[in-house]
A and B are shown apart, each in its own frame.
Chain A
Amino acid sequence: MTDVQQHTPSIHLSGEEPRVLPNGEREFFFDVSTSDLEVNMGPQHPATHGVMRVLLRTDGELVTGAQPHLGYLHRCAEKIGENVEWLQYLPYTDRYDYLAAMNNNLGYSLAVESLMPDLEIPRRATLLRTICAELNRIASHLIAYGTYGLDIGAFTPFFYAFREREWIQALFEKICGARLTYSFIRIGGVFNDAPPGWLKEVAAFCDVFEEKWREYYDLLVTNHIFVMRTKDIGVISAEMAYDFGLTGPMLRGSGVDFDLRRDLPYMAYKEIWDAGAFRIPVGRGAQGTLGDCWDRFDVRVQEMMESIKIIRYCLEVIEEGEVIGDVPKVIKVPAGESYVGIENPRGELGHYVHSDGGKVAVRCRVRAPSFVNLAVLEDLMPGTLLADSVAIIGSTDIVVGETDR
């Protein structure tokens, strides 16, 4: 940080001649110049959701420039993927988007499976994967809901969101034994079958969650102060969203109806969509301009409800059976390359895997949605107030572990 004093206004007489007023007094002109204040938001700042640094250039409360700096959490995840066996990379996928580890497992598994044409995934495994991925989507959006409330200054919604997230984590703990880094969805299926009674507990969770969801809506989403804070702030037009390659709620918040679960369906999503079990919430500009922070936030909150509907459908059609296909202990993937993108809570999570037929990947590349979505900050933040910049960072809902990998 530079010194404050050196940016204080400097006042001195301008070179201009003093003007003589009608009453004989002389009027002097002053040069009053202020320079912009450069301030580091982060790496240790409550609003950056981890260790990201935004270099802000401010004129008073007004932000005139913003430059996100990342890389504080870089852990060489992709390089590790080229050095460990196919299955051994699974725990590392948990760790880039640690709030939606199930979805990361799923994306990686689907990408590897796409190179193994002989492998057949049992139906129960597919449905279990869907249930887990959607539960994790709810958990992730709950965090987005809670932390966005924190960014805006409301504490309590955070605790309510964590209460339900805790329940989801307890469910995951029962099925796979971990609370955050699940490593549950594996190449070929899932590691374990659901313990007895687990599916009933999920159904019970769905029932309770619907009630609580109403409260979330009343407590924060429609609160007038919250609406005033987020509407017309950080407006991303549909075109801008295309240009930046935004995906997920960031894109749908701008009114673009695009969801990989419907448009490039994987697993059982085509069947679920055809059964009419869910719809895709899209920003409507209900509280201001289309594509503002409120729209993005609203899309996330609505998506939680849609996930509940998907889970309900899966619980109806799920039946007994195998949970893992015919996979050897040491997986050898046929030579080839493939890219599979799935709908992560934050957008399109793509895995590009390249195999030469061996036990280890030649290349394992991740298209992280947070990383792509983050790029828009630099364009959105100039011209807003300091408090708005916090709201904008919050509305992109980044996970720094994923941007840096």
Chain B
Amino acid sequence: MVRVKEYFGNVWKTLATTWGGMRITGKYFLQKPITVQYPDERLPIPDRYRGIHYLEQEKCINCLACARACPIDCIEMEAIRHGKELEWVSFTLDYQKCMFCELCVYPCPKDCIHMGTEFALVTYDRSELNHDLLSFRGMSREARIRMKEAEEKKKAKEAAKAAKEAAEAADSKDEKGEG
């Protein structure tokens, strides 16, 4: 009797659980899908999304903190220092290596490197993945103006200093001459 019970129990269980599963799939068949048609509609990207970096170059002081924090050394930067102003040569981020860990963002003292919401890194050539984050090369206009002003100030200062020295020298000469 136990075997008979088990036999028909199996038949019943198979049919019942199959029907139970079919009810669930059937329920979702009649519901609206939850996916979106990607290129046409997109899900919102949150603010903290870790996508392709962007650099606020004005603020950057070429301190190499981000490059040092990077676990795979994919950030490289080069700038020539003219006093306080920077003449930018390059600031590259190699996306072949980058693993979007955001460790470069936290140590920045000027809070100038960020991760954006762009994520498409499709190229025809690998070398194109070595992104240059610079928006301008050399010096920015403001920096140039600031530098010019600083130079003029310096010149003026030097001129003043020279004039002063000359005056002092003349004074001492005069004193000598008089003496």
Contacts and interface: CB of A to CB of B under 8 A. Distances in A.
Contact of B115 (A170, A174, A177, A222): A177
**What is the size category of the interface that chain A forms with chain B?**
20 to 34
B49 interface: yes
A224 B50 CA distance: 44
A173 B49 contact: yes
6 contacts: A87-B69, A156-B25, A170-B43, A177-B49, A183-B102, A223-B21
Given A90-B103, A91-B101, A183-B101, A224 B14 contact: yes
Given A163-B34, A174-B48, A177-B46, A91 B14 contact: no
Instruction: List the 8 shortest-distance A-B pairs measured between CB atoms, nearest first.
Output: A91-B101, A88-B71, A177-B50, A177-B48, A224-B13, A224-B14, A224-B17, A174-B46
Main secondary structure of the interface of A (DSSP, over half): helix
Contacts of B46: 173-174, 177, 195
Nearest to B9: A224
A178 interface: yes
A219 B24 contact: yes
Interface in B10-36: 10, 13-14, 16-18, 20-21, 24-25, 28, 34
A379 interface: no
Contacts of A177: 46, 48-50, 102, 115
Interface of B: 10, 13-14, 16-18, 20-21, 24-25, 28, 34, 43, 46-50, 69-71, 99-103, 106-107, 115
B100 A178 contact: yes
B21 A218 contact: yes
Interface of A: 84-85, 87-92, 94, 156, 160, 163, 170, 173-178, 181, 183, 191-192, 195, 215, 218-220, 222-225, 329
Given A223-B18, A223-B21, A224-B16, 12 more contacts: A88-B71, A91-B99, A92-B71, A173-B46, A176-B48, A177-B102, A178-B102, A181-B100, A183-B103, A215-B24, A224-B18, A225-B14
A222 B34 CA distance: 26
Contacts of A87: 69, 103
Contacts of A181: 99-101
A178 B50 contact: yes
A223 B28 CA distance: 18
A222 B17 contact: yes
Nearest to A154: B21
Contacts of A176: 48, 50, 102
Contact of B20 (A88, A156, A170, A218): A218
B24 A218 contact: yes
Nearest to B70: A88
Contacts of A329: 106-107
Nearest to A95: B99
Nearest to B22: A219
A302 to B, nearest CB: 19
Contacts of A84: 71
A71 to B, nearest CB: 22
A175 B48 contact: yes
Given A88-B69, A163-B34, A176-B48, A191 B21 contact: no
B93 to A, nearest CB: 15
A192 B46 CA distance: 14
Contacts of B17: 218, 222-225
A87 B25 CA distance: 46
A403 B56 CA distance: 41
